[in-house]
Chain A
Amino acid sequence: MTQDMAAQGLRESATFDRATIHAIQRAAETGIYDIRGGGAKRRLPHFDDLLFLGASMSRYPLEGYRERCDTDVVLGDRFASKPLHLDIPVTIAGMSFGALSAQAKEALGRGASEVGTSTTTGDGGMTDEERGESKSLVYQYLPSRYGMNPDHLRKADAIEVVLGQGAKPGGGGMLLGQKISDRVAGMRTLPMGVDQRSACRHPDWTGPDDLTIKIAELREITDWEKPIYVKVGATRTYYDVKLAVKAGADVVVVDGMQGGTAATQEVFIEHVGIPTLAAIGEAVRALQEMGMHRKVQLIVSGGIRNGADVAKCMALGADAVSIGTAALIALGDNHPSLDEEYRSIGSAAGYYDDWQEGRDPAGITTQDEDLARRLDPVKAGHRLANYLRVLTMEAQIIARACGKAHLHHLEPEDLAALTIESAAITRIPLVGTSWIPGQQL
Chain B
Amino acid sequence: MCGISGLHLRNPALYPQLGELLSGMLCEAAERGTDAAGIGLYGDPRLTPAGTTTVSVLDLAAPLEEVTRLLEARGLTGVRLLEAGQTTVISAANSAAELETAVRAALPDLIISGRGTQLAVLKGTGHPDDLAATFSLPSASGWQGVAHTRMATESAVTSSGSHPFSVGPDQCLVHNGSFANHATIRRELRADGIVFDSENDSEVGARFLAAQLAGGADLEKSLRLLCERFDGFYTLLVTTGDSFAVVRDAIACKPAVIAETADWVAMASEYRYLAGLPGVADARIFEPEPEQVYVWER
Contact = CB atoms under 8 A, between A and B. Distances in A.
- Of B151, B152, B176, B233, most buried by chain A (CB within 10 Å of CB) is B151
A209 B154 contact: no
A210 B256 CA distance: 12
B253 A208 contact: no
Chain B binding site: helix, strand, loop or mixed by DSSP?
loop
Interface of A is mostly: helix
Given A207-B177, A209-B32, A210-B255, A236 B151 contact: no
Contacts, number: 36
Interface residues of A, number: 12
A209 B176 contact: yes
A207 B234 CA distance: 11
A212 interface: yes
B3 interface: yes
A239 interface: yes
A246 interface: yes
Given A208-B1, A209-B2, A212-B31, A246 B253 contact: no
A305 interface: no
Interface residues of B, number: 20
A243 interface: yes
A189 interface: no
B65 to A, nearest CB: 38
B78 to A, nearest CB: 42
A201 interface: yes
B74 interface: no
A166 B242 CA distance: 49
Given A201-B253, A243-B1, A208 B233 contact: no
A206 interface: yes
Contacts of B269: 209
A384 B294 CA distance: 60
A208 B151 contact: yes
A372 B32 CA distance: 48
Interface of B: 1-3, 31-35, 151-154, 176-178, 233, 253-255, 269
18 contacts: A207-B1, A207-B178, A207-B233, A207-B254, A208-B1, A208-B151, A208-B153, A209-B2, A209-B32, A209-B151, A209-B269, A210-B1, A210-B255, A239-B153, A239-B154, A243-B151, A246-B35, A246-B151
Given A208-B151, A209-B3, A246-B35, 7 more contacts: A206-B233, A207-B1, A209-B33, A209-B269, A212-B32, A236-B154, A243-B151
